[in-house]
Structure 1
Amino acid sequence: MSNTSNNVSAEFRRWFWRILFSFQIINMISLNQVAGVDNTFRRKFDREEYLERARERERQEEEGRAKPKGKGPPVQRKPLKHRDYEVDLESRLGKTQVVTPVAPLSQQAGYYCSVCECVVKDSANYLDHINGKKHQRALGMSMRVERASLEQVQERFEVLKKRKDVGSFTEQDLDERILKQQQEEEERKRLRREKKKEKKEKAVEEPEIDPDVAAMMGFGGFRSSNKK
């Protein structure tokens, strides 16, 4: 359908230029006859020249339509690499936040992505987003992983080995931890015994009240526990 319309448009333009040139020729001839003077100082109309210009213009238009639209060079994206930062998913847990409709995206409820300028409502979808194709493209990376060389694999093994050596526990470390726990438990028992002893020392029996003094003070109901 598009090719048919283009052909009709081209034919119409050729027909229009021919009619226009014909009218120009007739107009110039009539002007020369009416004036009765020599107009050689004016530029004479060359029909073949204008027709050649029209053909050249049509040829350029046809070439422009036939020529495919050039696309830019493909973007060379870096291969996917390991994330060099820790994803923060817990810093806002348990906190209260006032959200207004006019607040910027970074202050709205959810997890804000500054790279894509969007808000994701929960942590699961946020992880899917930052690991997804759209986010990685915004960072200039593709979803292809670079193939590791033998040297890189060996270096990685060395790093993991050193990390394991630093974090490993020997039998001596285990004995020291057990001994430390026993000492802490004995210290707690000692403190409990001291507290009980202090309570016993404070719980001193009340001194006996003389009956006459008690009667004078209105404590007639009290009797000494010692019998005479």
Structure 2
Amino acid sequence: MAQSSNNAVGVDNTFRRKFDKEEYLERARKREQEEEEGGRHKSKSKGPPVQRKPLKHRDYEVDLESRLGKTQVVTPIAPLSQQAGYYCSVCECVVKDSANYLDHINGKKHQRALGMSMRVERASLQQVQERFEVLKKRRTPGSFTEQDLDERILKQQQEEEERKRQRRERKKEKKKEKALEEEPELDPDVATMMGFGGFRSSKK
């Protein structure tokens, strides 16, 4: 009995880990201090926020069909630009199909790499009117008005008449050539010996 009481007094037999609260408080204070200093450094290095240009339309044609239907040997050591798929030189990545490539070049990451935000500049009335004028001048061949249609019909009729006239002239020329080929050429000496000088009338 005496031994058990001695054990209870002199030995920690609870098997629970004891934490030194002072040590951990000191660690927490140090960590907070480091975070504050790091935050100051980050804010200094960050500087003012970057002003990006507003989004604008592409001034080039997207090439999706130049490599269509062509075979290509793909090697693992080839540079990215020569691998299979669509290569984006701005982001230096390869996209496997055209739909994903279009999504990529219209996406946020690509536009940021080009220095543009995803916001569109608000157009003024004058800009819209100017744009309409440009589009009217650069009208597509498929779109036309009634006046254009009448002009095209008239032009087509004139071309058709010209073709018919040329055909008629060709037929006349062919007939003349055939008539000249069929008419036999008589030697004048032979004709006088036979008793006729030609097919002209003898009446004067």
Partner of 1:90: 65
Aligned pair partner of 2:153 in 160, 174, 195: 174
| Distance of aligned partners of 1:145 and 1:6 in 2 relative to their CA distance in 1, 3 Å threshold | farther
Partner of 2:138: 163
Which of structures 1 and 2 has the bigger CA Rg?
1
User: Structure with the greater relative contact order (CA < 8 A, sep ≥ 6): 1 or 2?
Assistant: 2
Aligned pair partner of 1:153 in 104, 116, 128: 128
RMSD: 3.6
Shift of 1:172: 2.2
Distance between the aligned counterparts of 1:184 and 1:99, measured in 2?
Answer: 55
Partner of 1:32: none
Paired residues, number: 142
Runs of 5+ unmatched residues, structure 1: 14-60, 195-228
- For 1:113-124, what aligned pairs fall within 5 Å after superposition? 113-124=88-99
Cα deviations by residue, 1:78-111 (Å, 9 ceiling, x for unpaired): 1000100000011111222111111011001111
Distance between the aligned counterparts of 2:90 and 2:129, measured in 1?
Answer: 34
Shift of 1:62: 8.0
Distance between the aligned counterparts of 1:104 and 1:165, measured in 2?
Answer: 40
- For 1:1-228, what aligned pairs fall within 5 Å after superposition? 7-9=25-27, 65-66=35-36, 68-69=39-40, 70=43, 71-164=46-139, 168=144, 169-180=148-159
| Distance of aligned partners of 1:181 and 1:151 in 2 relative to their CA distance in 1, 3 Å threshold | same
Shift of 1:161: 2.2
Distance between the aligned counterparts of 2:35 and 2:103, measured in 1?
Answer: 44
Runs of 5+ unmatched residues, structure 2: 1-21, 175-204
Distance between the aligned counterparts of 1:157 and 1:181, measured in 2?
Answer: 37
Partner of 1:56: none
TM-score (norm 1): 0.51
Cα deviations by residue, 1:27-77 (Å, 9 ceiling, x for unpaired): xxxxxxxxxxxxxxxxxxxxxxxxxxxxxxxxxx98765453314321111
Partner of 2:11: none
Matched residue SS, 1:157: helix
Shift of 1:180: 2.9
| Distance of aligned partners of 1:8 and 1:141 in 2 relative to their CA distance in 1, 3 Å threshold | same
| Distance of aligned partners of 1:117 and 1:66 in 2 relative to their CA distance in 1, 3 Å threshold | closer
Matched residue SS, 1:164: coil
Distance between the aligned counterparts of 1:96 and 1:90, measured in 2?
Answer: 13
What is the letter of the counterpart of residue 152 of structure 1?
A: Q
- Which aligned runs of 4 or more in structure 1 are off by greater than 6 angstroms? 61-64, 185-188
Distance between the aligned counterparts of 1:186 and 1:112, measured in 2?
Answer: 57
